[in-house]
Amino acid sequence: MTFDDFSMLFQFIGGLGMFLYGMQMMATGLQKTAGDKMKHLLGVLTNNRFMGILVGALITAIIQSSGATTVMVIGFVNAGLMNLFQTVGVIMGANIGTTITAWIVSAGQLGDAVTVMKPSFYAPLMIGIGALFVMFSKKEKRQNIGSILIALGLLFVGLDWMSGSIKPYTDAPIFSKAFALLGGNPILGILAGAVVTAIMQSSSASVGVLQTLAMNGVVTANAAVYICLGSNIGSCYTALLSSIGASKNSKRTAVINLLFNIFGVTIFGTIAFILFKVNTALAASSIDSVKISLFHTVFNLVTTVIMFPLANFLVKASCIIVKDKDEDKELTNGDGIEMHHLDDRIMKTPSFAIEAALKEINEMGRLALENVELSVKSAMFLKEEDIKLAYENEENINEFEKTITKYLVKINNLNLNDTQHKTVKNLLYTINDLERIGDHAKNIAEFAYKLKKDNLVFSKDVIEELNRMKDHVVMSLELAIKMREAGSGDQIKKVYKYENDVDRIEIDIREKYISKLLEKDYNVETGVLFIDIISNLERISDHALNIAQYVEEENK
């Protein structure tokens, strides 16, 4: 190899690096720009398969990877956020959405006739304007737009470098021989496309490299078709790998994705083989990047149209391949606590990961509320099973806190926008308050245990006062948890009112029963325990107000 050959090789590697980094950077910028709007897509994931296709296509267009979308879908299934029937539409949409990158790449061929029409001509300007936005704009939205512009610029420069490095070798026999071999042997061509895509873990990237070669006229039509078909199968590798160790339905989701692409490749591969045998001139003709984009899009659209009415068949086939041998185990944190929603696969899109954490926090909140009522009940009626269950619930609340905290810390290390950072911070505060509520409920259960052990009981008047205090605290906490679930601060005034009522009741009870403690015949021990319980209830109300205030802050 000569010095010029090494120079061209380095240029190709550098161009490929810029292209891949530009894709990743653009995906990050688009996600940050979309922000919390992404999480609302989860609400659209109903059993309406057509809407699922739209959602899958949109998510893939944003994150620039059908493989990543499928991995997230596997995470949703594993976390119990989606069922198998809902995944089919999203997977179909993901395969359609991945073609957007091919069309962006094919735009590079616009300048073949007129230089000013070529995107790479404007790439330095895009990078320059984008850099100004990122460095000097204080508004996050403009910074995100700047990142997207830089990403597009890098993507087009990378394509230009790759294309330029190949141009001097377009007449080299190695290209004509290689593509003649891949085009003449469909299985070999499909296998090559699948292997390269599996290695790059992105069909968008492998098809993009193929398009770059096509821009220089070295790719034959038959080779391009078979390699493109293979790239669709290769894109399933990441999802299959991700499903290892997941639930049965998660594995079935990966299988559905594979079956969808295998059926499509079988149909199109058979038609292409017959067509190229009949028309050898077409098979040997060169193909440009626009036609590759068109074929890539038509393949995924037509396969979706064919497989759309056969969605139930895909689900049944996946169930036959991945059989139910044993009952699926729930996701746990390793300590026996069921974690229904947390899954690292979802973290490709932070807004979805935050939504999953929120669902688990809501579970924790409901358990904390239940334990407050249970602990007060145990103090009033002194049933041993209530005291024991209150202790167990507190242990579960502690495990919830540990597991969700770890998950939120992982989310916080992702590329988040300012709003998402604020939400994660407030969620960390929220679970700390819920854990403290659990501690206070446990304190009350311990007081109940002491009452039972010492054969002490509260009088009817004390139980009535305790019940009155408990009702106000429960209303405050219940409303705060509902605010957290809804993500709305509209009810904050009611929480303030309940908190003021609790403070007033606590002061009244404290003054009344401290006076009674001075009476000669009053049981001091029960009086002290009662006041301790009231104090813990008042602190629970304080934590409920904190939770409501975090939600209010997020909505400012």
Is residue 327 a part of any domain in this protein?
Answer: no
Q: What is the largest CA-CA distance in the chain?
A: 111
pLDDT for res 113: 47
Is residue 538 a part of any domain in this protein?
Answer: yes
- Are residues 215 and 357 both part of a single domain? no
- Are residues 361 and 293 both part of a single domain? no
Name residues whose C-beta falls within 8 Å of residue 156's C-beta, 6 or more positions apart in sequence: 22, 107, 108, 119, 120, 122, 123, 126
- Are residues 473 and 511 both part of a single domain? yes
Is residue 344 a part of any domain in this protein?
Answer: no
Give pLDDT tens digits for 9-31: 898 889 888 877 887 787 777 77
Q: Measured between alpha carbons, how far is 418 from 175 in angstroms, rounded to an integer?
A: 49
Tell me what the mean pLDDT of segment 246-273 comes to: 92
- Are residues 189 and 294 both part of a single domain? yes
For residue 220, list its beta bridge partners.
Answer: 286
Q: Is the pTM of this model over 0.75?
A: no
pLDDT for res 371: 95
Q: Domain range holding 279?
A: 3-321
- Pick from 169-173, 277-281, 328-332: least confident: 328-332
Tell me what the mean pLDDT of segment 28-38 comes to: 68
Q: Measured between alpha carbons, how far is 203 from 196 in angstroms, rounded to an integer?
A: 9
Q: Measured between alpha carbons, how far is 100 from 293 in angstroms, rounded to an integer?
A: 9
Q: Measured between alpha carbons, how far is 230 from 91 in angstroms, rounded to an integer?
A: 17
- Are residues 391 and 530 both part of a single domain? yes
Q: Measured between alpha carbons, how far is 208 from 155 in angstroms, rounded to an integer?
A: 10
Among 305, 321, 337, the domain boundary falls at 321
Element (H, E) at 445: helix 418-453
Is residue 255 a part of any domain in this protein?
Answer: yes
Is residue 404 a part of any domain in this protein?
Answer: yes
pLDDT higher than 90, residue 405: yes
Angle between helices 49-63 and 84-97 (to 10 degrees): 50
Specify the CATH number for the domain of residue 426: 1.20.58.220
Asked if 57 and 93 touch (Cβ cutoff 8 Å), the reply is yes
**What is the number of structural domains in the chain?**
2
Is residue 532 a part of any domain in this protein?
Answer: yes
Rg (CA), the chain: 31
- Structure confidence at residue 532 as a pLDDT band (50, 70, 90): very high
- Are residues 147 and 296 both part of a single domain? yes
Start-end of H helices in 107-139: 119-136
- Are residues 382 and 310 both part of a single domain? no
Asked if 73 and 253 touch (Cβ cutoff 8 Å), the reply is yes
- Are residues 166 and 281 both part of a single domain? yes
Give pLDDT tens digits for 446-491: 999 999 998 888 888 889 989 999 999 999 999 999 999 888 888 8
- Are residues 264 and 381 both part of a single domain? no
Is residue 329 a part of any domain in this protein?
Answer: no
- Are residues 309 and 369 both part of a single domain? no
Give pLDDT tens digits for 491-511: 899 999 999 999 999 888 887
pLDDT for res 63: 74
Give pLDDT tens digits for 80-136: 777 888 889 999 999 999 898 888 888 766 555 445 556 677 788 889 999 999 898
Which tokens belong to 170?
Answer: 């377009």
pLDDT higher than 90, residue 521: no
Tell me what the mean pLDDT of segment 45-52 comes to: 76
- Are residues 215 and 160 both part of a single domain? yes
Is residue 16 a part of any domain in this protein?
Answer: yes
In degrees rounded to 5, what are phi and psi of residue 410?
-60, -45
CA nearest to 435, candidates 539, 553, 552, 538: 539
Among 306, 321, 336, the domain boundary falls at 321
pLDDT for res 314: 93
- Are residues 243 and 369 both part of a single domain? no
